[in-house]
């Protein structure tokens, strides 16, 4: 008995010595560290060993932005910074926000979680840096009454299922040492305050000696300080930005080619002056004017800026000289064929928005500068691949917004003085053959332009009176082009195979459905391209004719004179057709003619505005189509959406969390997901946008289709159409026969790296 007791005492003594030695090692490591990053990275393995845990993290409050804490983690051979908010949504954020300790021994136990009633986790789980949290001990790092950070140790190893009573005391001793060290690290040496780059030194990105060498090299070569830091010493631009933010106490702005051109601010500024003085205005809000400058503390420059912009309410942010010059070149960019925006604005008089009522008369739609301005808006939209142009007079901010829709998203392109609104809208009305005296009711028309090397482009124009006695204009660009082949449309193998089968049938009806702008006409023209052979006579009725093909006889309908889709189809039936494509089945009459034509030996293709393939069947039956005739005529329904594609040059792969994976599976439908054989693992990859020059920093470039193809099989014909079953019944039968819903098709394309889950959710509901 005494021998066992003796062994136990020896074991306890050894454990005490281990803890004391481990604590001393950590203390020495923290005190020896040269910067915050070294404290975090060097002490972590010692903390892991001391507490025998799976993970440990030290978070530090951002000294500039107190609402944020950060840590450093090793990702392979790279060190990455990870940030989280000082808020109750995460455990380290909660600890830093409340100053309270957290000790949870079982993360699946609601009673333990509920002890911290103001901890607002999304669910009773926590997974960070690839570790699923089971037990956690976390404390705030405090010095002088101020929270400087947080420390957490996660998941005891071995048989231990919770932290012992002694371990919070042990962690508190580490916290005390950390508090002093972080306080000392955050105190900036008075001599270092004179340097814009003291942040880089304190965070171990460069030494004082290297900074002095950079200074000498910059003086000798004429190259900028920042360029040498980035190119020779591999200091990331983001870190230089952090250093400038820390020094100037203002935001760091990088060049973004998607920034709208602030035409109303640039009107009285010269390009050469801005290049010499290194500043440029970015935008104007109801509160202030936003200006970027290389030195926000330069009082002389600030006085000059305030005099030129005639405002004392100016928000100054810092940017690199190279980025400011890029902005200036971008805003004043020259085109050999046309003047710059600022040149055009300079030619116009009466641009003071404070006197818009008087000045409006001095800016006329016949002014050459207004004509060039409208042409430039249209040409730039075409160059940027925009589908729509929105002209929006803003009665609150007193300016005119010009927005483009690019790849499905609206982006602000330009702001113009408010006094130009009437002249711009009148000019567009003249180009569209609309009545410029009518301002209280909507009008619609068309503009036709010729572009060198491209040919004719057409714009569909609509004017709408809006609040404040102004008018909005929306122009849709209907660029004529060639049809795409079916092989280029990213259709899944099953859908491609089945679509080929039905489009090669001699008669029947194929419908392509979806909202406006979802690519229905493009898809139908791809089908026509596949079956367009010399032995077939193909008629199309469209409004307007956007895509042309050799061999098709294409007709433009004109509803105003009574030549609508139904009239065109009746004419086609007397003109010996094999295939008829009608732009849209807008009414019962057109739908009836389509069904009758498909039953009398013709292949009919058309579009419809419905949300899904099963819903299309129900919609047509509700319109009054005869179920028996419709059941015999229908070959298939293809529903589609357009989703933004990830930029191939900059998209980045990541391993989704188990929770994210489970949510995708649940939305997809577990019973159908099993067929895909995509199980969760650490090697599973999804993709997300990053941003580069090729995609204008958006992370996306172009769009692809998501498809839902319902084939009218005997089962659907007999059980669903003839009996007029519900949408859910039709969908269930179609999915049992192999149909993928739009959401399911989108999820599979996300796993292929073509798009991301966020974009799929934007255009689709769940898969079931």
CA distances from 730 to 249, 632, 638 (A): 61, 16, 14
* Selection from 241, 232, 434, 411 nearest residue 320 by Cα: 241
CA gap 58, 141 in Å, rounded: 9
* pLDDT of 189 strictly over 80: no
* Selection from 53, 38, 46, 57 nearest residue 18 by Cα: 46
The answer to whether 398 and 356 are in contact (CB under 8 A) is yes
Query: Can you tell me which residue has the tokens 């009054």?
Result: 624
pLDDT number for residue 453: 54
Residue 445 per-residue DSSP state: E
120: helix, strand or coil: coil
* 253-310: pLDDT as tens digits: 988 877 777 877 887 788 888 988 899 998 887 778 899 999 888 878 888 888 888 8
* Selection from 198, 207, 229, 204 nearest residue 64 by Cα: 198
CA gap 213, 560 in Å, rounded: 76
Give the confidence band of 510 by pLDDT, cuts at 50, 70, 90. very high
* pLDDT of 327 strictly over 50: yes
Pairwise pLDDT comparison (469 vs 10), residue with the higher score: 469
Give the confidence band of 340 by pLDDT, cuts at 50, 70, 90. low
pLDDT number for residue 513: 92
The answer to whether 539 and 572 are in contact (CB under 8 A) is yes
CA gap 596, 593 in Å, rounded: 5
In 222-298, which ranges are continuous DSSP H helix?
Answer: 225-231, 237-248, 263-266, 271-277
Strand partners, 327: none
* Selection from 64, 81, 65, 61 nearest residue 73 by Cα: 81
461: helix, strand or coil: strand
**Length of the chain counted residue by residue:** 768
Q: What's the predicted TM-score (pTM) here?
A: 0.55
* 520-537: pLDDT as tens digits: 888 888 888 888 888 889
Phi, psi dihedral angles at 205 (to 5 degrees): -85, -20
> Counting Cβ atoms within 10 Å, is residue 295 exposed (0-12), middle (13-18) or buried (19+)?
middle
CA gap 435, 456 in Å, rounded: 24
CA gap 69, 148 in Å, rounded: 9
User: CA Rg, the chain, in Å?
Assistant: 33
Q: What is the mean pLDDT of the chain?
A: 82
Question: Which run of H or of E encompasses 140?
Answer: strand 136-143
Token pair recorded at residue 670: 């577990």
Give the confidence band of 562 by pLDDT, cuts at 50, 70, 90. confident
Phi, psi dihedral angles at 262 (to 5 degrees): -80, 75
Residue 558 per-residue DSSP state: B
Pairwise pLDDT comparison (188 vs 218), residue with the higher score: 218
* 301-319: pLDDT as tens digits: 888 888 888 887 888 999 9
* Selection from 159, 185, 162 nearest residue 43 by Cα: 185
CA gap 275, 286 in Å, rounded: 27
* pLDDT of 353 strictly over 60: no
Give the confidence band of 352 by pLDDT, cuts at 50, 70, 90. very low
Could you list the beta-strand ranges (E) of 655-743.
Answer: 686-688, 700-711
Give the confidence band of 336 by pLDDT, cuts at 50, 70, 90. very low
Q: How many CA atoms lie within 13 A of 299 on its CB side?
A: 0
The answer to whether 662 and 125 are in contact (CB under 8 A) is no
The answer to whether 644 and 744 are in contact (CB under 8 A) is no
Token pair recorded at residue 82: 């990870």
* pLDDT of 452 strictly over 80: no
* pLDDT of 482 strictly over 70: no
Give, to the nearest 10 degrees, the angle between helix 588-599 and helix 565-573.
20
pLDDT number for residue 343: 57
Question: Which run of H or of E encompasses 176?
Answer: helix 167-186
Dihedral over Cα of 690, 408, 513, 505: its sign: negative
pLDDT number for residue 60: 92
Which of 115-124, 161-170, 729-738 reaches the highest mean pLDDT? 729-738
Q: Work out whether strand 289-293 and strand 314-318 pair parallel, antiparallel, or are unpaired.
A: parallel
What is the chain's percent helix, strand, coil content, to nearest 5? 45, 25, 35
Give the number of other Cβ atoms within 10 Å of residue 291's Cβ: 23
Mean pLDDT calculated for residue range 163-189: 81
Pairwise pLDDT comparison (367 vs 322), residue with the higher score: 322
Give the confidence band of 542 by pLDDT, cuts at 50, 70, 90. confident
């Amino acid at each position: 008995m005494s021998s066992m007791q003796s062994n136990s005492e020896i074991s306890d003594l050894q454990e005490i010595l281990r803890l004391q030695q481990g604590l001393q090692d950590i203390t020495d490591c923290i005190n020896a560290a040269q910067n915050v990053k070294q404290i975090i990275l060097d002490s972590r393995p010692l903390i892991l060993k001391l507490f025998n845990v799976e993970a440990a993290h030290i978070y530090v409050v951002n000294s500039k932005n107190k609402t944020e804490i950060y840590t450093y983690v090793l990702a392979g051979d790279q060190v990455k910074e990870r940030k989280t908010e000082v808020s109750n949504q995460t455990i380290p954020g909660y600890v830093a926000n409340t100053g309270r300790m957290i000790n949870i021994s079982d993360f699946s136990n609601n009673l333990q979680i509920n002890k911290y009633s103001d901890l607002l986790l999304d669910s009773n789980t926590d997974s960070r840096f690839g570790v699923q949290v089971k037990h956690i001990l976390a404390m705030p790092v405090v010095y002088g009454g101020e929270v400087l950070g947080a420390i957490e140790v996660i998941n005891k190893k071995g048989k231990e299922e919770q932290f012992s009573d002694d371990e919070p005391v042990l962690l508190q001793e580490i916290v005390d040492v950390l508090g002093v060290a972080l306080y000392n690290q955050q105190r900036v040496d008075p001599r270092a305050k004179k340097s814009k780059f003291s942040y880089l030194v304190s965070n171990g990105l460069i030494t004082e000696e290297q900074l002095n060498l950079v200074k000498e090299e910059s003086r000798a070569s004429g190259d900028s300080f920042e360029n040498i830091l980035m190119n020779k010493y591999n200091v990331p631009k983001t870190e230089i930005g952090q250093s400038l933010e820390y020094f100037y106490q203002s935001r760091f702005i990088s060049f973004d080619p998607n920034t709208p051109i602030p035409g109303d601010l640039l009107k009285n500024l010269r390009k050469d002056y801005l290049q010499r003085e290194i500043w440029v205005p970015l935008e104007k809000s109801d509160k202030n004017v936003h200006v970027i400058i290389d030195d926000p503390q330069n009082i002389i420059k600030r006085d000059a800026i305030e005099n030129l912009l005639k405002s004392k309410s100016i928000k100054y942010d810092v940017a690199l000289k190279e980025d400011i010059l890029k902005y200036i070149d971008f805003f004043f960019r020259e085109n050999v064929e046309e003047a710059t925006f600022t040149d055009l604005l300079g030619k116009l008089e009466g641009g003071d928005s404070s006197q818009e009522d008087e000045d409006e008369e001095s800016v006329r739609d016949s002014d050459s500068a207004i004509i060039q301005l409208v042409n430039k808006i249209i040409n730039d939209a075409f160059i940027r691949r925009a589908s729509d142009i929105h002209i929006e007079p803003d009665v609150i901010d007193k300016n005119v917004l010009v927005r483009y829709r690019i790849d499905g998203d609206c982006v602000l392109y330009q702001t113009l003085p408010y006094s130009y609104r009437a002249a711009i809208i009148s000019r567009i009305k003249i180009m569209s053959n609309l009545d410029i005296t009518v301002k209280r009711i909507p009008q619609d028309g068309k503009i036709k332009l010729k572009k060198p090397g491209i040919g004719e482009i057409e714009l569909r124009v609509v004017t709408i009176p809006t609040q404040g006695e102004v008018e909005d204009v929306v122009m849709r660009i209907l660029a004529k082009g060639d049809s795409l082949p079916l092989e280029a449309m990213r259709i899944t193998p099953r859908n491609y195979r089945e679509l080929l089968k039905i489009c090669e049938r001699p008669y029947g009806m194929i419908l392509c459905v979806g909202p406006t702008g979802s690519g229905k006409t493009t898809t139908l023209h791809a089908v026509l391209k596949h079956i367009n052979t010399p032995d077939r006579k193909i008629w199309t009725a469209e409004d307007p004719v956007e895509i042309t093909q050799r061999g098709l006889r294409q007709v433009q309908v004109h509803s105003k004179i009574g030549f609508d889709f139904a009239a065109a189809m009746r004419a086609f039936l007397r003109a010996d057709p094999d295939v008829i494509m009608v732009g849209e089945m807008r009414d019962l009459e057109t739908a009836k003619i389509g069904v009758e034509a498909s039953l009398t030996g013709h292949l009919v293709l058309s579009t419809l505005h419905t949300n899904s393939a099963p819903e299309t069947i129900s919609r047509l039956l509700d319109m009054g189509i005869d179920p028996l005739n419709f059941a015999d005529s229908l070959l298939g329904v293809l529903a589609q959406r357009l989703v933004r594609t990830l930029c191939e040059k900059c998209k980045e792969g990541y391993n989704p969390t188990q929770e994210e994976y489970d949510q995708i599976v649940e939305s997809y439908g577990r019973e159908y997901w099993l067929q895909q054989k995509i199980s969760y693992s650490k090697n599973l990859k999804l993709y997300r946008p990053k941003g580069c020059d090729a995609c204008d920093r958006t992370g996306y470039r172009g769009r692809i289709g998501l498809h839902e193809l319902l084939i009218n099989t005997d089962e659907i014909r007999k059980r669903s159409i003839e009996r007029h079953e519900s949408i859910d019944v039709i969908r269930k039968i179609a999915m049992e026969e192999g149909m993928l819903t739009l959401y399911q098709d989108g999820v599979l394309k996300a796993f292929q790296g073509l798009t991301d889950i966020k974009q799929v959710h934007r255009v689709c509901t769940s898969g079931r």
